[in-house]
C-alpha cells in the first residue's frame, strides 16, 4: 500500500486549520494518519450553553470531525468524503480546558467507511464517545497540488 505524502499531510492540516469553520470553533486538526486523527478544541465562553457547560453540539462537532479525518487518508487520490450518520453519547459535563477528540477508522470501504471517536478533557477523562458512517464522494477530493501518496 502507498504511504501518505508528509508534504500533503502538512498542507492538508494547514488548509483545514485555516478554514472558516474550524477557526470559528477554536478547533484544530493536530494529527492525521491512516485510520487515525486527533482534533483539539480550547473551550471558551462561546462553547458554553446557559448552564455553563460545553454545548453538546460542540462535542458532536469534535466527534464528527475526528471520525471524518480518521477515514480520509484511506480514500483514493481525488475522492472526498461526507458523514452520513453520527451517533454519540455524552458521558460527563465539561466547562473549561482543552478537549481532544481521537478518531479511529474501524472499517475503510470503497464507498462506505465506519469510524469512532472519543473526546477527553484536560485530565484525560472520556467526556463523549461516538461513531460515524461515512460515504466516499468520487472526484470531490481536495486539490492541494501535491500527490496524496508516496509509492512504496
The three grid cell numbers given for residue 69, joined into one nine-digit string: 479525518
Tell me the residue ranges of DSSP E strands in the chain: 3-4, 27-33, 36-42, 80-90, 98-107, 112-120, 126-137, 149-150
Lowest mean per-residue pLDDT among 22-36, 50-64, 102-116, 138-152 = 138-152
Check residue 77 and give its pLDDT: 86
What domain range includes position 48?
A: 3-138
Check residue 1 and give its pLDDT: 53
End-to-end alpha carbon distance in the chain: 7
Q: Decide if 123 is inside a domain.
A: yes
Q: How many helices (H) and strands (E) does the chain have?
A: 3, 8
Q: Decide if 152 is inside a domain.
A: no
Q: Decide if 150 is inside a domain.
A: no
How many folded domains does the chain comprise? 1
Q: Decide if 144 is inside a domain.
A: no
Q: Kindly report the CATH number assigned to the domain that includes residue 61.
A: 3.10.129.10
Check residue 143 and give its pLDDT: 87
Inter-CA distances, 151 with 1, 41, 73, 147, 148, Å = 8, 34, 14, 10, 10
Q: Decide if 57 is inside a domain.
A: yes
What percent of the chain is predicted at pLDDT more than 90? Answer: 92
Q: How confident is the model at residue 140 (pLDDT cuts 50, 70, 90)?
A: very high
Q: How confident is the model at residue 2 (pLDDT cuts 50, 70, 90)?
A: confident
Q: Decide if 146 is inside a domain.
A: no
pTM above 0.75, yes or no: yes
Amino acid at each position: 500500500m502507498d504511504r501518505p505524502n508528509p508534504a500533503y499531510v502538512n498542507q492538508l492540516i494547514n488548509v483545514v486549520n485555516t478554514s472558516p469553520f474550524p477557526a470559528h470553533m477554536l478547533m484544530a486538526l493536530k494529527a492525521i494518519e491512516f485510520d487515525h486523527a486527533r482534533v483539539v478544541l480550547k473551550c471558551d465562553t462561546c462553547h458554553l450553553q446557559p448552564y455553563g457547560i460545553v454545548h453538546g453540539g460542540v462535542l458532536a462537532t469534535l466527534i464528527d470531525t475526528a471520525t471524518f479525518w480518521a477515514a480520509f487518508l484511506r480514500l483514493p487520490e481525488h475522492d472526498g468524503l461526507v458523514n452520513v450518520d453520527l451517533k454519540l453519547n455524552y458521558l460527563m459535563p465539561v466547562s473549561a480546558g482543552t478537549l481532544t477528540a481521537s478518531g479511529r477508522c474501524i472499517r475503510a470501504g470503497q464507498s462506505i467507511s465506519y469510524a469512532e471517536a472519543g473526546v477527553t478533557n484536560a485530565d484525560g477523562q472520556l467526556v463523549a464517545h461516538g461513531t460515524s458512517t461515512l460515504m466516499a464522494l468520487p472526484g470531490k477530493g481536495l486539490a492541494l497540488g501535491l500527490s496524496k501518496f508516496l509509492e512504496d
